Structure 1
Amino acid sequence: MIKYHIQLRNNLQKISFKRKLNFAIQICERIYPEYLKFYELNDFGNPELLEKGIDVCRKYEKSKFSEKEINDLILKIKSVTPDTEDYGELIGFLALNAAASVSEMLKFVLNSNDKHIFDIANFMFDSVDFQVSDRYPNLNDKEIKWQLQQTDN
């Protein structure tokens, strides 16, 4: 994991704002369906707010949005982000990561800080990790490490 973090930080330093934003948009689009599933199962949240956040970022370069509009959207998304104490099952964690990713992407648009892109990538990494762990609960660290080594070759 440390190697991944170092490589991610190094790669983020080398790419433009636009490529970072596109990377974030792609991640948010990929994990958004988990939020939608969560919403349908729990009748909590607001998928339209996440869609709006993604759309704002897609259109950001062509249509400038005010800082107030973006901050208001971040607050609204926060209000519909599931709390893992209330929704501790896998789908709750995935929905939390989806909502947090969109919020971080909007923050990136405001201040261009790579930390937000780094966090989004980690939310995606964690989401995949949660799903693999849920699907294959008996894998131990040694088996996981062996599998990762096989993919490196």
Structure 2
Amino acid sequence: MRARLALLRALAAALVLALASPAFAVLPDERLADPALEARARALSQDLRCMVCQNQSIDDSDASLARDLRLLVRERLKAGDSDSQVLAYLVDRYGEFVLLTPRLSRQTVLLWAAPATFLVLGGLYILFALRRRRQVAPAPPEPLTDEEKARLDAILKS
């Protein structure tokens, strides 16, 4: 019984380790022979969104569309396109959504300004809440009258 339990634990640990290992999406047959072009292709691939996974770059994704995009990037680089020409080609073909980091433009200004706006609004809310709390501080209690002091002394004596 203990041997089976130990075997199951070892299998579970091996499964966890296998699943926790990083995925290497770029296959050896995709790599370019020129190391400089391959480095450019990898840099571009890390900034492009996988249209299937949507929160992964095409460099990290195992989806077939990501593979096609990696190959397309490499083809464009081999054809002599600059990095900006490759990005422009992909944006024209797939839209601005293909970029993991959107460009600052009229359409994306709200996206870029939202974090700073929320941070400023949150700071102002805290500032006004603290000021309001200071202004509403309770007044000190009024001192007891002679009559109240006499009644209190009588209560305490009894």
Greater helix percent: which structure? 1
Larger radius of gyration: 2
Q: With structure 1 as the length reference, what TM-score do the two structures score?
A: 0.28
Greater relative CO (CA pairs within 8 A, separation 6+): 1
Q: With structure 2 as the length reference, what TM-score do the two structures score?
A: 0.27
